Amino acid sequence: MEDTYDNDFGNNMPERAAVWRKASQDQQVKNPGTNNRYFVGIQVGFTYPDLNSKGKILKYIWGWKDIGHS
């Protein structure tokens, strides 16, 4: 049987990314909003208090039912 390796464990990703695992459990939603001029868009801002960091997600649905995100 051939040996297999998990690159995530090989490069210590669980330890290096542990702070993000905890931060995502404690994120706080900020400034939700919508835009509907040519499409329906939902934007949600959020913060990671433990990391003193923030971000946002934008989801949109065009009139022809395509769904995208950024």
Residue 69: pLDDT band with limits 50, 70, 90 = low
Q: Decide if 3 is inside a domain.
A: no
Do 33 and 22 meet the contact criterion of CB atoms below 8 Å apart?
no
Q: Decide if 1 is inside a domain.
A: no
Give the model's pLDDT for residue 64: 59
pTM over 0.95: no
CA 15 centroid distance within chain: 19
Count of the separate structural domains present in the chain: 1
Q: Decide if 13 is inside a domain.
A: no
Give the model's pLDDT for residue 59: 81
Q: Decide if 65 is inside a domain.
A: yes
**21-55 confidence digits (pLDDT tens):** 777 777 777 776 666 666 677 788 888 888 888 88
Average confidence score pLDDT of the chain: 73
Please give the DSSP secondary-structure letter assigned to residue 49: G
Give the model's pLDDT for residue 13: 80
Do 43 and 35 meet the contact criterion of CB atoms below 8 Å apart?
yes
Domain coverage including residue 35:
27-70
Q: Decide if 58 is inside a domain.
A: yes
